[in-house]
Amino acid sequence: MTLSEFQKKLARHGYDAYILTRGNMFLGQDILPEENKIRELTGFSGSAGTLIVSPEKSWLLVDGRYELQAAREVDAAQTEVVCTADTVGSWIGANFLTPFKIAYSPWCHSVNEVDYWQRVLKKHSFIADDADLPGPRLAAKEVEIFEHDIEFCGVSAEEKISWLTRFMTEQNLDAYFVAACDAVSWLLNLRSDCLPDTPILRAFALIDKDGGVSLFTGDMRKAEAEIAALKGRTVGLACAKTPKQIQLLMKKHKIRLENIANPIDNWKAVKNPVELAGIRKAHVRDGVAVVKFLHWLENSRQPVDELGVVRELRRFRAEQTNFYSDSFGTIAAFGPNGAVVHYQPTAATDCRLEPGSILLLDSGAQYFDGTTDVTRTIAVGEPPAEIKDSFTQVLKAHIAVADAYFPAGTGGSALDALARAQLWKFGKGYHHGTGHGVGCFLNVHEGPFSLSAKNSQPLDAGMVTSIEPGYYKEGAYGIRIENLACVVPAKNPRFDEPMLKFEPLTLVPLDKRLISKYLLTAAEINWLNTYHAEVWQKLHGYLDAETAEWLRQACAPL
């Protein structure tokens, strides 16, 4: 369907506007390319954004991560790109000044989101689209579902379900509806091959207080039948993560609803000892693969382009034990492409690596025992002094978080500020979070916490997060330094109160050719040398002599 065809549909149905998301009924979860309605209508391929369409005009709302990408991909004559921090509701309130009839899919927006529109934007009418005007959102694909073995997940599904039934008893619930499919996957120790880089089971789950489980993967007639059987009972759900349509079905069948945050999110975020052991082993193997790749890249005698980088890096990872897939599409961005935060090379944009600039390489892998995500900025030839200074400033921001001690209960926003403060000294910043939670053979982006300005969720021992400040100069280059780290207790008898710190998980050297040593303090140099010594110690025994010698030099003290 083209944008103009969709606009004609809106006009025939008498709608003044339509709110169209990239996703589907599994809110916040990744999708298959053929399910991306925003890309179908506008060409925008970014992983976040909202399209608002009227019969005459359309607006694509994106945040700062996607401003440059959207400008490249979207036809400005058809769609206006709006880079904004506003929510959809606040943007509509500020821009639609006369009463509008606005349609939306009740499957693709949460209860909280729709209720907010209806509560605050009273002059507009928000109408659930029962006709499914954009077309089907779920691809008809055969999916293999498999168990995540106990040797990797550490806790049986039966035990996890018992935690939830105990929670329901405490909350006086007859059942709990789990809409977040990463929570469903973790709870039941199930995975699938539905998505290319995320082994998630896309499903809802209805769990009753006796431990009975009903799964819904796409047939919502079955879901309604199961929901109808709970007439007169009390069901808990998280309104922030549950599609509006589920609430409508429950109200239709006279079910009492309790808005209760999904407890699985917090259980899942704190990794158990078996998960942590597997995650550490996965990072050793991933470090070996990335080091082999970096050695290959530096010694390649043939011209290398961005797509070649993607292919070769995957080849080295695929050789590792327990490898399943990439954990997201590899970002291999050379020179000016690096300024596009989530750039991914295509045949149309692919460029050759030429001396005098840098490669931003953000990649990761799914192993049965852990998920990885690492970004390195790599010198190609001799980059100018400006790039080296910018890289070192980003390194200072990374170390400010990676080397921090913080009290138990500290929220991610405080740690986000530590990184940004380092770059603010140089008049620089970045339009993305400083870090995100990471699942165990699950989503590479996982809540409920993050290191970002608006997230105050406390960090706790056992959580795994990325630390990834950056700097991006439009038309020139992009820099990001990302490690995964585990939150651990900081055992020090001199501390008056319990403190936490970060233990690095990622084991890949940073490119010392890009460091302006004069910008670093003695403490920062010590952190870098200590980190590199750990990388060498844990990896060199798995490498051939030539690659081990390359790693020894890469990890030598600064």
Residue 306 pLDDT > 90, yes or no?
yes
* Fold type of domain 270-554: Creatine Amidinohydrolase (3.90.230)
**pLDDT of amino acid 16:** 95
Fold match, 3-128 / 270-554: no
Rounded to a whole number of angstroms, the CA Rg of the chain reads 24
Mean pLDDT calculated for residue range 311-325: 98
Residue 484 pLDDT > 90, yes or no?
yes
**pLDDT of amino acid 68:** 86
Question: 77 CB contacts (<8 Å, ≥6 apart)?
Answer: none
Residue 219 pLDDT > 80, yes or no?
no
pLDDT grade for 377, boundaries at 50, 70 and 90? very high
Q: What backbone phi and psi angles, to 5 degrees, belong to 153?
A: -90, -25
Chain CA centroid to CA 237, Å:
23
Q: Where are the domains of the chain?
A: 3-128, 145-265, 270-554
Question: 20 CB contacts (<8 Å, ≥6 apart)?
Answer: 37, 38, 41, 50, 51, 52, 53, 105, 134
Burial of 535 (0-12, 13-18, 19+ CB in 10 A): buried
pLDDT grade for 438, boundaries at 50, 70 and 90? very high
CB 538 within 8 A of CB 507: yes
CB atoms within 10 A of CB 169: 10
Mean pLDDT calculated for residue range 381-390: 96
DSSP letter assigned to residue 135:
-
Short-list 483, 475, 474, CA closest to 534: 483
Distance of alpha carbon 2 from alpha carbon 527, whole angstroms: 53
Q: What is the pTM of this model?
A: 0.93
Residue 374 pLDDT > 90, yes or no?
yes
**pLDDT of amino acid 318:** 98
Short-list 8, 3, 86, 13, CA closest to 49: 86
pLDDT grade for 224, boundaries at 50, 70 and 90? confident
Identify the weakest region by mean pLDDT among 203-217, 299-313, 352-366, 486-500: 486-500
Mean pLDDT calculated for residue range 282-302: 96
DSSP class per residue in 482-516? BEEEEEEE---TT-SS-EEEEEE-------GGG--
* Fold type of domain 145-265: Creatine Amidinohydrolase; Chain A, domain 1 (3.40.350)
CB 289 within 8 A of CB 264: no
**pLDDT of amino acid 67:** 86
Pairing of strands 234-237, 256-259: parallel
Distance of alpha carbon 466 from alpha carbon 335, whole angstroms: 24
Residue 467 pLDDT > 80, yes or no?
yes
Identify the weakest region by mean pLDDT among 117-126, 134-143, 314-323, 547-556: 134-143
**pLDDT of amino acid 217:** 86
CB atoms within 10 A of CB 27: 19
Residue 258 pLDDT > 80, yes or no?
yes
Characterise 232 by phi-psi region: left (phi > 0), alpha (psi -120 to 50), beta (else). Answer: left
Q: What SS3 state is found at 521?
A: coil
Provide CATH code, domain 3-128. 3.40.350.10
Residues 138-186: pLDDT tens digits?
A: 888 889 999 999 999 999 999 999 999 999 999 999 999 999 999 999 9
Residues 52-79: pLDDT tens digits?
A: 999 999 999 998 888 888 888 999 999 9
The end-to-end CA distance of the chain, in Å, is 56
DSSP class per residue in 331-387? EEEEGGGGGSTT----TTT--B--TTEEEEEEE-EEETTEE--EEEEEEES---HHH
Q: For residue 273, is the peptide bond before it cis, meaning its omega torsion is within 30 degrees of 0?
A: no
Identify the weakest region by mean pLDDT among 33-37, 106-110, 182-186, 253-257: 33-37
Pairing of strands 17-21, 101-104: parallel
State both tokens at 176. 């709990």
**pLDDT of amino acid 160:** 98
Q: Where are the beta strands (DSSP E) in 162-272?
A: 175-178, 190-192, 204-208, 213-216, 234-237, 256-259
Residue 450 pLDDT > 90, yes or no?
yes
Short-list 209, 206, 214, CA closest to 162: 209
Residues 505-536: pLDDT tens digits?
A: 999 999 999 999 999 999 999 999 999 999 99
Residue 220 pLDDT > 80, yes or no?
no
Q: For the chain, give the mean pLDDT.
A: 95
**pLDDT of amino acid 104:** 95
Distance of alpha carbon 137 from alpha carbon 166, whole angstroms: 35
**pLDDT of amino acid 316:** 98
